[in-house]
Amino acid sequence: MPRPSAVRPILLATSILATACVLATALPALAAPPTGGWVFDGGPDFPGFTRVQVHKDHGHYSGTVTSHWYGDLPLDDVRVDGDNLVFHLSNGNPRVAESDIVLKPEGKAVHMTGKLWYADFDIPAHKATTKALKALDFPVYPLPPRRVVQPLARAETPPMGWNSWNKFATDIDDRTVREIADNLVASGLRDAGYVYINIDDGWQGNRDQAGLLQPNAKFPDMKALADYVHARGLKLGIYSSPGPKSCAGYEGSYGHIEQDAKTFAGWGIDYLKYDLCSGEAFYHTPETVHAVYQQMAEAIAATKRPMIFSLCEYGRFDVGSWGRDVGGSLWRTTGDIEDKYETMAKIGFEKNGVPNHTGPGGWNDPDMLEVGNGGMTTDEYRTHISLWATMAAPLILGNDVRHMTPDTLALLTNREVIAIDQDAAGVQGLPVKKEGTREIWTKRLSDGATAVGLFNRGDEAASVTVTWAELGLKPAKVRDIWANTELAPAAVQTVTIPRHGAVLLRVTP
Ligand code: GLA
C-alpha cells in the first residue's frame, strides 16, 4: 500500500489528466501548418520549383522554396492561417508586386498555390526524405575577391551597332543575322559607324556532357557566323547571364563562367552583353553583383580576346561608379525601353544615370534604339536619336535594317548627329532649362562648339525660345542639323517644335 502522502499527488495528476482528456475530445484539434520537406511533383518550367522546406523554431515558421531559376528563396512575411502557411517569395525584382503564396497540407503531402513574377502556379509536393531533399541542393559557387579588371577592349566613344532584341526578341536565327550584316553594309549603316551585330537572348541551346554551351538549332555554327560577319567589316556580339537562366529562360552562365568566356572567344565573339536576369534573386547586394560581373570580366580577360563588356543590371547599385572597375565599357542605367514614346521619354529625359560616370572608356547606357520599329512617329524618333546623341549614349540599333523607310535611314545615318554622339570629349549632355514640357539640353563638344537640343515633350506644337547668353554661349554660327540649315546667330532664337519633337543645333563660337 502506498503511503497516504504519496497517494494524494497521484490522485491529483490522474484527475488533471482526465479533465484534459475530456477537454481535448470536446474541442476541435488545434490546426497548425506542417513542418518538414517536400519535393514538387512537376510544375511549370518557370521558375522550376524543386522543393519546399519548412521549419518551426520557438513558434516561428521559416524555410525556403528552391527553384532552378532562383536557387533557395526564403519564405518572407510568413503567417499562419489555420493549417495553411502563407508567405511571399521575392525574385529580387521589384517590378512585379509580391503576392500571397499558400502552402496547404493534404495528408502527408502539401500543395503550393500562388504567383511569382508573372506566373501563377498550383503544384503538389510529396513528403521527402532528407536524402531526397539534399539531392536537390542548389549549387553555390565562390565569388572572386574584389579586384580591378583591365579590359583588353576599350570603347573610346559610345559603342555603335545593332542588336536583335527590340525587333526580334527570341525569334532570331543565323540567316536573319547574316541578312542584317549584309544590309548594314548595303545601307551605309556600317560606314556610318554601326559595326557591332549583337545577338541577344534566344541563341542558347543546351550544354554537352563536358558542360560546353551549344547554340540552339537556329544557330548551327556560331564560328561560321562570326566569320561571315567579320568578312563584312563588322563585329559579332553575344548575350549571356550570370544566373542559371537568361531573362527569356535560356541557359545562363551560372557555374560555367570561365568555360563560356572561352567558348565565346573561340567562336570569335567581340562583345558580350551580360544580363543579370535570374541571378538577381541571389545576387542582390552591391558586393555580389559587383563580384559576378568582375568574375566574367576576368574570365574574358583570361581568354586574351578583346571583347566589349556590356553590363545589364538595370542601373542597380550605382553601376556607373564601378562599371569600369569590372571591365565594363557600357552599363545599362534603366529598365527596358519599349517602342512607345512615354517609355522612351521617361528613360531618356529622366533616368540615364550619373552623367559624370560617362566618358571615354565607359558609358551610361539608357538602352537600345527603337527608331524604325513603328511604335513612334518620326518626330518622336527624332527626339529619341537626338536625345541619345546629346547624352553620348551607345547607339545600338533595334530595328529590322532589311526593311527601312527613307525617314528611318535618314534619322540613323545623319553624320552630324552621329558626330555629336561620338564626340571625343565624351561628355554626357544635360538639361539646362526646363519650362513645363519644354526642355533645353546642352553638350560641350571637343572642338569648342556646343550641341543644343531643344525638346517639346508636350502633346501640342510649341515654340521654344533660347537666349544664348542664358546658356553662357556666344554663337558665331548656329546650325540646325535636322533641317540642314544655318540660322542667323541672333541673341535670341525662337523655334517651333512639333508635339514630342526635337531640334538639334550645333552652336559654334
Ligand atoms: C532583359 C534586357 C533586355 C533583353 C532581354 C532578353 O530584359 O534588359 O535588353 O536583353 O532581357 O531576354
Beta strands 196-198; 235-240: pairing state: parallel
d(CA 36, CA 211): 34
State the cell numbers at 469: 547668353
Q: Is 203 in the pocket of ligand 1 (CB under 6 A)?
A: no
Per-residue pLDDT 10s for the chain (509 aa) are: 334 344 344 444 444 444 444 444 445 556 899 999 999 999 899 999 999 999 999 999 999 999 999 999 999 999 999 999 999 999 999 889 999 999 999 999 999 999 999 999 999 999 999 999 999 999 999 999 999 999 999 999 999 999 999 999 999 999 999 999 999 999 999 999 999 999 999 999 999 999 999 999 999 999 999 999 999 999 999 999 999 999 999 999 999 999 999 999 999 999 999 999 999 999 999 999 999 999 999 999 999 999 999 999 999 999 999 999 999 999 999 999 999 999 999 999 999 999 999 999 999 999 999 999 999 999 999 999 999 999 999 999 999 999 999 999 999 999 999 999 999 999 999 999 999 999 999 999 999 999 999 999 999 999 999 999 999 999 999 999 999 999 999 999 999 999 999 999 999 99
Catalytic residue list: 275, 336
Q: At how many degrees (to 10) do helices 378-390 and 341-350 cross? A: 20
d(CA 283, CA 253): 14
d(CA 476, CA 478): 7
The preferred substitution site among 166, 200, 204, 314 for testing ligand 1, maximizing ligand atoms within 8 Å of CB, is 200
CA of 335 to the centre of ligand 1 (A): 9
Model-wide pTM > 0.85: yes
Ligand 1, atom 5, residue with closest C-alpha: 247
Q: Is 100 in the pocket of ligand 1 (CB under 6 A)?
A: no
Half-sphere exposure of 138 (CA within 13 A, CB side): 21
* Atom number in ligand 1 closest to CA 332: 8
d(CA 131, CA 104): 23
Half-sphere exposure of 5 (CA within 13 A, CB side): 0
**Identity of the residue numbered 44:** P
Of residues 269, 268, 265, 240, the one with CA closest to residue 255:
240
Rg (CA), the chain: 30
Ligand 1, atom 6, residue with closest C-alpha: 201
Q: Is 280 in the pocket of ligand 1 (CB under 6 A)?
A: no
Strand-pair partners of 188: none
